[in-house]
């Protein structure tokens, strides 16, 4: 266990802490998708006044809370020079939000839909600590281990987003309202909140007992004077167009993902005339299989050199193409023979509310879920890992905090816009309008990739500048070799007539600058 004192600096990666960071990333991400298949039917039971549009706003506030809290967590971490305090705070907020969700059925005097919105907002604020985990992985890993370390944390986040419904599928065997120990129901709708609370407690225990806040480089604070350290040689400017295409691709990834998860339950109940229990069960099973495919994809990229088999650029194109094919296959084309069934209880299409019910054709249930598992289950993890890796290489060997923050912001914006726009279109014009919107978004991004394909490459840096940027060559493995190399570099700089050293320390690795 690492004490809450100033973090230790050493020149190697402490993998145990990277593993804890990946696990905490999983805990934060799983709480975004853990409720998706159960939220809608549960709220229909507790609050009959909830609408699809309000449900979209409920999903929106999760991402809004994350956008508000993530910069604050980052500033806090930089101020105290530790990541542990903001991580504790994030875990507490997620625990508190889930606990309110458990109490929601016994809270009186306030419409339940507003209580649900408050829960999701608090949980979203807590999950903002995921950005702190990515920042830690970037600075706690040595240069040769950095890509692998970031892959672990990204893998934890991606698997958490897709495995949430798998946990929900396990709980579908429970009945509603179920037993009520201490006056609180234990059923297929509330059990995910109990699991989330347990995960947050276990995450806090792991953070306290097993997490060592150790860094692989000697970090320079932002408030240090620029003239206190030797300015490193400048490196080429990254290609702005390539970076913008990456932002758009990240936005599209989260935009499509969130739309499918948000509308999954009401869409299946309307399109396939499934009741609440079967809707939750089938959707959870499909997304659970997607989670297994996601896990397999990340294992392959962590253990094998997949870039040599399928390079990064073609992989991104394949993933975006699979998204487009999925929407074309599952689109309710007018030439399909069957039409959706009219409302019968809580299943079917309510023609009294939706004018588009009479003309909506029915998509085959097996084609929908089969293509969802195969196409979406391949596209999402493939795009996440290859786009993140390519984006880092496009930026080159520099501090990437600002650009990575904007990259994450593009994801959050997609997550915020998706549920609101999709819910509004779904209510007013039906699923055809939602599918048309997603086909247009994916199509525009694919067109940008083909148009600027030659720009989507790793930054090329002259060897002389690359060596000077790192200061200490990473090919020297032993401690003695590192010390000899560091001494030689220091003496050379001290004897140089242009050297101006006012700093009281020499960084283990000269930091990059934007």
Mean pLDDT computed over every residue of the chain: 78
Q: At what angle do helices 240-271 and 431-451 cross, to 10 degrees?
A: 160
* Token pair 């001290």: residue: 494
R_g of the chain computed on alpha carbons: 25
* Alpha-carbon span 66 to 61, nearest angstrom: 8
Would you place residue 161 in the very low, low, confident or very high pLDDT band (cuts 50, 70, 90)?
confident
The dihedrals phi and psi of 210, each to the nearest 5 degrees, come to -120, -10
Q: Which residue has the higher pLDDT, 462 or 225?
A: 462
> What mean pLDDT is predicted for residues 115-125?
90
| pLDDT at position 227 over 50 | no
Would you place residue 316 in the very low, low, confident or very high pLDDT band (cuts 50, 70, 90)?
very high
Four-residue CA torsion sign, 307, 312, 313, 314:
positive
Would you place residue 94 in the very low, low, confident or very high pLDDT band (cuts 50, 70, 90)?
very high
Cβ-proximal residues to 450 (8 Å cutoff; 6+ apart), any chain: none
Residue of 53, 35, 173 whose CA lies nearest to 104: 35
Evaluate the omega torsion of the peptide bond into residue 177 and state whether it is cis, within 30 degrees of 0: yes
H/E/C letters for each residue in 359-406? HCECCCHHHHHHHHHHHHHHHHHHHHHHHHHHHHHHHCCCCCHHHHHH
Residue of 190, 160, 147, 204 whose CA lies nearest to 45: 190
> Please, are residues 154 and 134 in contact by the beta-carbon 8 Å criterion?
yes
3-state DSSP call for residue 210? coil
Angle at CA of residue 363, ends 362 and 366, nearest 5°: 135
> Please, are residues 22 and 152 in contact by the beta-carbon 8 Å criterion?
yes
Quote the pLDDT of residue 285: 85
Q: For 339-356, write each residue's pLDDT tens digit.
A: 888 877 777 888 888 888
Q: For 184-216, write each residue's pLDDT tens digit.
A: 778 888 888 899 999 999 999 999 988 887 765
The dihedrals phi and psi of 431, each to the nearest 5 degrees, come to -65, -25
Assigned token pair, 51: 């609408």
Quote the pLDDT of residue 5: 47
Residue of 370, 383, 253 whose CA lies nearest to 318: 383
Q: For 173-182, write each residue's pLDDT tens digit.
A: 787 777 777 7
Domains defined along the chain, listed by start: 1-218 (1.20.1250.20), 239-460 (1.20.1250.20), 464-514 (no CATH)
Minimum mean pLDDT range among 228-232, 262-266, 330-334, 485-489: 228-232
* Alpha-carbon span 457 to 500, nearest angstrom: 36
Would you place residue 449 in the very low, low, confident or very high pLDDT band (cuts 50, 70, 90)?
very high
Q: For 37-93, write each residue's pLDDT tens digit.
A: 778 888 888 888 888 778 878 877 888 888 788 777 877 877 777 888 989 999 999
| pLDDT at position 496 over 60 | no
Quote the pLDDT of residue 144: 65
Q: For 360-393, write each residue's pLDDT tens digit.
A: 898 888 999 999 999 999 999 899 888 887 887 7
DSSP-derived secondary structure letter, 137: H
Would you place residue 465 in the very low, low, confident or very high pLDDT band (cuts 50, 70, 90)?
low
* Alpha-carbon span 439 to 444, nearest angstrom: 9
Quote the pLDDT of residue 329: 94
How remote is the C-alpha of 500 from its chain's centroid? 43
Stated pTM of the model = 0.69
Quote the pLDDT of residue 76: 82
508 - beta bridge partners?
none
3-state DSSP call for residue 9? strand
* DSSP codes of every residue in 487-507: HHHHHHHHHSTT-----SS--
* Alpha-carbon span 435 to 426, nearest angstrom: 10
> Please, are residues 200 and 94 in contact by the beta-carbon 8 Å criterion?
yes
């Amino acid at each position: 266990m690492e004490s809450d004192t100033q973090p230790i600096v050493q020149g190697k990666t402490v993998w145990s802490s990277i593993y804890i960071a990946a696990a905490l990333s999983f805990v934060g991400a799983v709480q975004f998708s853990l409720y998706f298949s159960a939220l809608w039917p549960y709220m229909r039971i507790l609050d009959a006044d909830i609408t699809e549009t309000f449900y979209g706003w409920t999903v929106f506030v999760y991402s809004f809370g994350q956008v508000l809290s993530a910069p604050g967590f980052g500033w806090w971490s930089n101020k105290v020079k530790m990541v542990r305090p903001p991580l504790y705070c994030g875990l507490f907020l997620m625990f508190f939000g889930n606990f309110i969700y458990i109490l929601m059925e016994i809270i009186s005097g306030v419409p339940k839909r507003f209580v649900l919105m408050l829960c999701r907002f608090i949980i979203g604020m807590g999950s903002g600590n995921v950005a702190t985990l990515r920042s830690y992985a970037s600075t706690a890993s040595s240069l040769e281990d950095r890509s692998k370390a970031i892959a672990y944390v990204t893998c934890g986040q991606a698997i958490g987003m897709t495995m949430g419904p798998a946990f929900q599928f396990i709980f579908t065997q429970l009945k509603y309202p179920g037993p009520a120990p201490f006056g609180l129901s234990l059923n297929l709708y509330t059990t995910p909140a109990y699991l989330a609370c347990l995960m947050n407690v276990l995450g806090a225990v792991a953070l306290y007992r097993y997490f060592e806040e150790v860094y692989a480089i000697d970090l320079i604070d932002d408030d240090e004077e620029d003239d206190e350290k030797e300015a490193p040689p400048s490196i080429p400017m990254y290609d702005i167009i390539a970076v913008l295409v990456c932002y758009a691709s990240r936005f599209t990834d989260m935009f499509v993902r969130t739309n499918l998860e948000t509308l999954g339950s009401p869409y299946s109940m309307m399109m396939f005339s499934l009741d609440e229990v079967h809707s939750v069960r089938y959707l959870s099973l499909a997304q659970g299989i997607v989670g297994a495919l996601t896990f397999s994809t990340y294992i392959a990229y962590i253990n094998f050199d997949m870039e040599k088999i399928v390079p990064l650029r073609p992989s991104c194109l394949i993933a975006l193409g699979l998204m487009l094919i999925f929407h074309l296959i599952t689109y309710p084309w007018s030439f399909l023979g069957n039409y959706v069934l009219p409302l019968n209880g809580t299943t079917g299409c309510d023609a009294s509310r939706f004018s588009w019910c009479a003309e909506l054709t029915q998509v085959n249930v097996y084609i929908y879920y089969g293509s969802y598992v195969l196409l979406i289950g391949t596209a999402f993890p493939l795009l996440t890992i290859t786009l993140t890796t390519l984006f880092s290489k496009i930026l080159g060997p520099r501090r990437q905090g600002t650009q990575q923050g904007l990259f994450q912001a593009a994801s959050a914006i997609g997550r915020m816009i998706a549920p609101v726009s999709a819910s509004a279109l779904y209510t007013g014009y039906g699923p055809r309008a939602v599918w048309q919107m997603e086909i247009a978004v994916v199509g525009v991004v694919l067109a940008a990739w083909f148009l600027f394909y030659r720009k989507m490459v790793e930054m090329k840096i002259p060897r002389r500048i690359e060596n000077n940027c790192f200061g200490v060559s990473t090919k020297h493995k032993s401690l003695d070799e590192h010390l000899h190399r560091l001494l030689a570099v220091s003496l050379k700089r001290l004897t140089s007539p242009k050297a101006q050293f006012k700093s009281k320390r020499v960084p283990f690795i000269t930091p990059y600058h934007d």
